Every structure is written in structure tokens, then in C-alpha cells.
Amino acid sequence: MIAALYVETGSSCFGLDGVVPWDEARDARLYDGPSPVVAHPPRQRWGPLLARQHPQAASIQPWHDGGCFEAALKSVRKNGGVLGV
């Protein structure tokens, strides 16, 4: 089994044999193993393109993603797998 973390509901990960998708409703930050992961935490608040991606960027705190990136990194370190950024 492989855990696909931070995927969109109904994406191509759903219905694949051997893949357990973790979408927003399931909250991938809570994944605790034991399977390896493919993690794609949300990137909307990362980096210099924030202002271009969000019209209301002035009210958004860059890098504050609710702990998604940190949780994804911990999952990869603990269970193995890949972190897509």
C-alpha cells in the first residue's frame, strides 16, 4: 500500500489499486503510517509567486500552511516515500 497525501477529492489517485488517498476531508496531517507516502502538500503560500497566485495576498501570511508541509515531511521521514514540492 501507498498513502497519497494532500490529493484532490476525486483525482486520479482515487480508485487505484494499492493507493490510499488522503484528501482534505481526511486531513493528511493526521497520517501516521505505516505505508510509504507520496505527499503533495499545498504550495499556494510558498515562495515569491504568492502575490501572483492570490489576489488577496496582502492578507495571507506566507509560509503559514496550517502545518501541511511539516506533516508531509515528517511522514516521508518516518514512513519513506517522496515529497513533491
How does DSSP assign 38-55, residue by residue?
Answer: EE----TTSSTTHHHH-T
**According to the model, what pLDDT value does residue 39 have?**
95
C-alpha cell at 75: 511522514
What burial class does residue 18 get, using C-beta atoms within 10 Å of its C-beta: 0-12 exposed, 13-18 middle, 19+ buried?
exposed
**According to the model, what pLDDT value does residue 1 have?**
95
Q: pLDDT of 26-79, one tens digit each?
A: 999 999 999 999 999 876 655 555 555 555 555 555 556 788 888 999 999 999
pLDDT class of 20 with cuts at 50, 70, 90: very high
C-alpha cell at 78: 518516518
**According to the model, what pLDDT value does residue 65 have?**
78
Structure pTM? 0.77
